Amino acid sequence: MLIALGVTGGIGAYKAVEVARGLQKRGHEVVAVMTSSATRFVGAITFEAITQRRVITDQFEPGANADIEHIAIASTIDLLIIAPATANIIGKIANGISDDFLSTLYIATRAPVLVAPAMNTQMFAHEAVRRNLDTLAARGVRFVEPGEGYLACGWIGKGRLAEPDDIVAAAEAMLRPEGPLRGRRVLVTAGPTYEDLDPVRYLGNRSSGRMGFAIASEAARRGADVTLVAGPTTVDPPPVNQVVRVRGAEEMYRAVLSRAERMQVVIMAAAVADYAPAARAPQKVPKGGDTMTLVLKKTPDILAELGQRRVASGDGPLLVGFAAETEDVVARATAKREEKHADLIVANDVSRADAGCGVETNAVTIIGRNGVESLPVQSKTRIAAAILDRLEKLLSESPAKAGHYDRS
Ligand code: CTP
């Protein structure tokens, strides 16, 4: 998600650098907006280097479409954070004064706002400041309480900027509202894999990634901490906690296996190649005779490996697989569920024009240990919601460690 990080002129301004980094680590894009006094504490260049974006420092900067930029950013950001927020900016935004970029952005945006006040204890306790804070709170602004400790002015008390980690956590909580999957770590794979033949050619498939993206997005909406492992897709991935881009099956295998242990749910929506060229030619292969033979070798089956590990240890994430079938859909998918020791298999009839690869809709059958549920053609978003409803039920039935596997 895109977050505007407003930095004002307080001694804690240097900590905002850590806030920017923390947000980026969580997969967010950050645009820093500095007041002119903030630039006296930290250089704009520091934020520019970290955020990899131009830092907005002045509303009337010539040549930068400055007069409309705050409106453009105002409508694209998902969250506005002000950290540190001085008594001055709190006073301005509480009272609708917009005399610089940051205070104007506050007025112009409809994104939620998070404020991390930082000031001297006496100032923080002053009635004028308290009133402004109350006004903002009544308007829905959220706060990260200042910490207690040594202040730069030598006093001990409330006023020091909250720790960057706490600000990042508060931002995350605002972006990912309370939901039934809150606190659950979910890994979703999506898209095709490309298996390289030589530096310019590959074997791929027509998966667009939309089904996996819809699941990842819905899981995030329900409050889950989502890691998306995506093959090469042309559709952009949704904003989730972490997006890991991979190319081939082998790389996807490593990306998933190295993270699976920390997950409560792994959903394999990717169309992983079953075979890859036995060897990748280091140079472009020149044209030869009329026919050409490719030698392929089996790729590691990620879902089957996760299933095996869970059977061996009796513990591990809940596993959801997909099965792309063209005939005997339910029977084949049921067999796949058992072979791969998955909790759910979502079977796709890819012979239909309105379901499966490359289209916005899908029709699936969800096959569990004790039941088969067929969903008619509908948007991939609604299919994602139905799959997650089933998963939520499974999670609520599982004992303490969500992924405990019933060997039966
Ligand atoms: N899968 C995987 N690793 C692979 C191949 C597939 O993790 N190397 C996963 C897919 O992401 C999907 C499920 O296994 O969730 C089923 O994949 P599919 O290709 O439909 O089935 P296969 O078991 O490969 O059988 P077949 O292609 O013969 O139908």
Mention every residue, 6+ apart, whose C-beta is less than 8 A from residue 290.
Answer: none
Looking at residue 69, what is its pLDDT?
64
Residue for token pair 């205070």: 103
Among 188, 215, 302, which is best to mutate for testing ligand 1, by the most ligand atoms less than 8 A from CB? 302
In this structure, which residue's CA is closest to atom 16 in ligand 1? 323
Indicate whether residue 224 lines ligand 1 (CB < 6 A): no
At 55-106, the pLDDT tens digits run: 998 755 655 555 566 678 999 999 999 999 999 999 999 999 999 999 999 9
What stretches of 1-43 show up as alpha helix (H) in DSSP? 15-25
List phi, psi (to 5°) of 335: -65, -40
Catalytic status, residue 153: yes
Looking at CATH, the fold of the domain delimited by 185-397 is given as: Rossmann fold (3.40.50)
- Give residue 353's pLDDT band: very low, low, confident or very high (50, 70, 90): confident
In this structure, which residue's CA is closest to atom 17 in ligand 1? 323
What 8-state DSSP symbol labels residue 367?
E
Looking at residue 221, what is its pLDDT?
86
Looking at residue 208, what is its pLDDT?
93
Mention every residue, 6+ apart, whose C-beta is less than 8 A from residue 106.
Answer: 6, 80, 82, 93, 98, 113
Looking at residue 157, what is its pLDDT?
64
Distance between CA atoms of residues 291 and 309, nearest Å: 42
- Determine the distance from the C-alpha atom of residue 341 to the mean position of all C-alpha atoms in its chain, rounded to a whole number: 28
- Give residue 399's pLDDT band: very low, low, confident or very high (50, 70, 90): low
How many Å lie between the centroid of ligand 1 and the Cα of residue 272? 6
Looking at residue 1, what is its pLDDT?
87
Looking at residue 153, what is its pLDDT?
65
How many Å lie between the centroid of ligand 1 and the Cα of residue 273? 8
Q: Is the pLDDT of residue 41 over 90?
A: yes
* Residue 405 buriedness (CB in 10 A; 0-12 / 13-18 / 19+): buried
How many Å lie between the centroid of ligand 1 and the Cα of residue 307? 13
Supply the mean pLDDT for the chain. Answer: 89
List phi, psi (to 5°) of 239: -75, 115
- Determine the distance from the C-alpha atom of residue 361 to the mean position of all C-alpha atoms in its chain, rounded to a whole number: 23
Mention every residue, 6+ apart, whose C-beta is less than 8 A from residue 353.
Answer: 359
- Give residue 254's pLDDT band: very low, low, confident or very high (50, 70, 90): very high
Indicate whether residue 17 lines ligand 1 (CB < 6 A): no
Average of per-residue pLDDT across 390-399: 87
Among 203, 299, 301, which is best to mutate for testing ligand 1, by the most ligand atoms less than 8 A from CB? 301
Catalytic option among 153, 156, 278, 294: 153
Looking at residue 155, what is its pLDDT?
60
Indicate whether residue 244 lines ligand 1 (CB < 6 A): no
Looking at residue 60, what is its pLDDT?
58
Residue 78's CB: how many other CB atoms inside 10 A? 17
Ligand 1, closest atom to CA 270? 11
Looking at residue 77, what is its pLDDT?
95
Ligand 1, closest atom to CA 339? 23
Cβ pair 236, 257 in contact under 8 A: no
Q: Is the pLDDT of residue 401 over 50?
A: no
Looking at residue 389, what is its pLDDT?
95
At 310-334, the pLDDT tens digits run: 999 999 999 999 998 889 999 999 9
Sheet strands (E) in 369-403: 371-379
Tokens representing residue 33 in the block:
């907006």
- Look up residue 361 and give its amino acid: T
Q: Is the pLDDT of residue 124 over 70?
A: yes
Looking at residue 93, what is its pLDDT?
97
| CA-CA-CA-CA dihedral for 385, 110, 89, 160, to nearest 10 | 0
Residue 240: closest CA among 51, 27, 4: 27
- In this structure, of 58-67, 257-266, 386-395, the range with the lowest mean pLDDT score is 58-67
Looking at residue 404, what is its pLDDT?
41
Partners of 310 in beta bridges: none
Domain ranges (residues) in the chain: 2-175, 185-397
Q: What b-and-e string marks burial along 14-23, b requiring 16 or more CB atoms within 10 Å of the CB?
A: ebbbbbbebb
Indicate whether residue 256 lines ligand 1 (CB < 6 A): no
How many Å lie between the centroid of ligand 1 and the Cα of residue 208? 16
In this structure, which residue's CA is closest to atom 4 in ligand 1? 301
Dihedral sign computed on CA atoms, order 276, 277, 279, 284: negative
CATH class of 2-175: alpha beta
Residue 270: closest CA among 317, 321, 227, 332: 321
Inter-axis angle of helices 101-108 and 87-94, to 10 degrees? 40
If phi > 0 it is left, if psi is from -120 to 50 it is alpha, else beta; for residue 208 that is: alpha
Looking at residue 151, what is its pLDDT?
58
- Give residue 403's pLDDT band: very low, low, confident or very high (50, 70, 90): very low
* CATH topology agreement for domains 2-175 and 185-397: yes
Q: Is the pLDDT of residue 405 over 60?
A: no
At 139-194, the pLDDT tens digits run: 889 888 887 655 566 666 667 888 899 899 889 888 876 789 988 999 999 999 99
Indicate whether residue 276 lines ligand 1 (CB < 6 A): no
Reduced 3-state DSSP string for 222-276 = CCCEEEEEECCCCCCCCCCCEEEECCCHHHHHHHHHHHHCCCCEEEECCECCCEE
Looking at residue 149, what is its pLDDT?
58
Q: Is the pLDDT of residue 408 over 50?
A: no
Looking at residue 360, what is its pLDDT?
77
High-pLDDT (> 70) share of the chain, %: 90
- Give residue 238's pLDDT band: very low, low, confident or very high (50, 70, 90): confident
Ligand 1, closest atom to CA 306? 7
Looking at residue 162, what is its pLDDT?
84
Indicate whether residue 303 lines ligand 1 (CB < 6 A): yes
